[in-house]
A and B are shown apart, each in its own frame.
Chain A
Amino acid sequence: MDLLLNEQLENLKKRFDNLEKGTKDQISMVIFSGDLDKLLAAMIIATGAAAYDMKVKLFFTFWAIAALRDPKKNGKGKNLIQSMLGFMHPKGSKKTKLSKMHMCGMGTTMMKGIMKKNNVASLEELIKVGGEMGVEIAICEMSMNLMGFKKEEMIDYPHMTICGVATFLSDASESKVQLFI
C-alpha cells in the first residue's frame, strides 16, 4: 500500500515539476506583418510586457523583417534577384506603410503627424526602448533569405539573433502568452 502511495506521489511530483518548468512569465510573438500599424501594435505590447517584467521574445518573419533593416547599411554579396528584392522592400521601419488608408503615402504621413501630436511613440522609438528593456528579437533565417536580406543590413539591436522555427516553438511552448501579428 505504502509502495503504491509512494509511486503515486513520485508521479505527481514529476508532473508538478513539468508544469512549473512548462510556462514562464514570458510572451512570444510572431511578427509577420510589415504594416506600420501592426508593427506598432506589436511593439507596444512588447514594451508593455517588458514593463510587466515579463520576458519578451519576438520572432520576426517574412514582411516584418524589412522593418529591421538599417537604411544606412547594405548587404554584401547579393545576386541580381536579391538586390532587386532588396530595392522593392521598405528599407527600415521609417519606410513601412499603414495597412489601410496609405493613399500613396498621404495617409501614412498624416497618421504619423497625428501620432506626434498625441505624443504616441514612433516605431523607431519603441524598438529602441525595447532594446533598452531587454526585448529579444529573433529573425527567421529562411524568410530573411527569401526576402533577399542579409544579416549585415539589420539595425544595431542589442538582443538580436538569427534563428529557425524551432527557436520560436521552444520559446512559445514555455510562454504564457503567444501572439501572431
Chain B
Amino acid sequence: MRILVQEDPFDVGEEVSRFSAGHQDVGAVVTFTGVVRDVPEERLKVMEIEHYPGMTESALAEMAATAMDRWSLADALVIHRYGRLAPGEMIMMVGTASKHRKDAFEAAEYLMDFLKSRAPFWKREITARSAQWVAAKDDDENALKRW
C-alpha cells in the first residue's frame, strides 16, 4: 500500500509505472486520476484544498486497507494533494492491482466513493468573482450506500 498526502505535484506516468512494476500474478491495474476542473462561467483561478493532517493519512490508509480486505488486491495506491492548485492540475489518484479486472475496477470505485465523502479534505474555488467552499453533493453521499 502506498498512501501519499502532499502539496507537491506528482507524475502520473511515473506513479503508474512504479505501481504496476514489481508485482507478479497481477493481470489488471486500474488507475483513476482527478483533475482540477475549470468553472467556465467564472474562470477558476485557483482551487484551494484544505485537509486535516494526521486524520487524512489514517483515513486514507484505513480505506485502502478495507479495499485490500474486501477485494482480491495485490496492492493499492492513494495520492491526494492539498494547497493551491490551478485548473488542469492533478489533484489525486488511486490505483488498484489485482489478478482480474473486476476486483481492480470495483476496488478503485470504492476508494473514489469513500475519498469523496469520508476523507477530510475541503475544496474552495477561487474565481475572478468569488471564493466559495465547494458543497458536498447528495449524490456523493448516496454513492456510499452501494458498498
The answer to whether A and B belong to the same complex is: no
On A, residues with C-beta under 8 Å from B are: none
On B, residues with C-beta under 8 Å from A are: none
